[in-house]
């Protein structure tokens, strides 16, 4: 019996050692693949260095609600746009979640991209030619305390004046003011992640 216990204990120790080695190897591989993902980005404003907070996200499809269907607080801040006579509200709180800092739409026939960074409180709205395709703008992450967006495959700080898109006029107003002035407007719906 003592002989059996001796070999069982050795087998258990070997299994634990093998598990620890495998876990360490897989963790090392995962860290390297994460580093490598950002090592070969196209030219970017950071000079090719790794972003401090990578947050690359695919573009998500957003929808709009009627004012009466929107559960917002009166003091919520709205990024307000008017496109072809239609008023649109982009609540900052609905652009604050991870992966939701950029909303690209075709409003009427106008391509629009609303970008918002809740870390810096920076807002930029971009547009393209009427009848054009949806703008190729996605979020890329946070670097040097600034929001980085990917525009047509190239990294830019959100506030970079050299972004090859036209700026679109917007206002920042409270939800209370906006819903009173535009009761028939459209409100960016809260995105539900699946």
Cα dihedral across residues 90, 95, 99, 101: positive or negative: positive
Phi and psi angles of residue 149, each rounded to the nearest 5 degrees, phi first:
-115, 155
Find the range with the poorest average confidence among 6-10, 11-15, 22-26, 77-81. Answer: 22-26
Question: Where do the structural domains in the chain lie, given as residue ranges?
Answer: 1-40, 53-188
pTM of the model: 0.69
The tens digit of pLDDT for each residue in 99-135 reads: 788 999 999 999 999 999 998 899 999 999 999 999 9
Q: What Å distances lie between residue 62 and 34, 103, 113, CA to CA?
A: 28, 7, 12
Q: Provide the token pair at 105.
A: 């739409």
pLDDT grade, residue 141 (50/70/90)?
A: confident
Give the residues across from 123 on adjacent strands. 116
In this prediction, residues 130-146 reach a mean pLDDT of 90
The tens digit of pLDDT for each residue in 57-115 reads: 555 677 888 999 988 999 999 999 999 999 999 999 999 887 788 999 999 999 999 99
């Amino acid at each position: 019996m003592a002989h059996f216990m001796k070999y069982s204990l050795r087998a258990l120790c070997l299994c634990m050692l093998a598990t620890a080695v495998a876990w360490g190897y897989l963790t090392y591989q995962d860290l390297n693949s994460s580093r490598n993902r950002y090592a070969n980005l196209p030219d970017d404003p950071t000079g090719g260095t790794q972003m401090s907070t990578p947050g690359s996200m695919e573009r998500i499809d957003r929808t709009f609600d009627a004012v009466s269907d929107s559960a917002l607080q009166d003091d919520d801040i709205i990024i307000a746009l008017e496109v072809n006579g239609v008023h649109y509200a982009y609540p900052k709180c609905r652009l604050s979640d991870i992966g939701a800092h950029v909303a690209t739409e075709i409003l009427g026939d106008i391509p629009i991209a609303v970008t918002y960074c809740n870390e810096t409180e920076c807002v930029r709205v971009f547009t393209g030619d009427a009848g054009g395709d949806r703008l190729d703008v996605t979020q890329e992450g946070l670097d040097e305390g600034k929001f980085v967006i990917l525009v047509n495959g190239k990294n830019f700080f959100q506030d970079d004046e050299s972004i090859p898109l036209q700026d679109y006029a917007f206002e920042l107003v409270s939800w209370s003011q906006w819903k009173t002035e535009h009761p028939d407007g459209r409100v960016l719906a809260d995105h539900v992640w699946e």
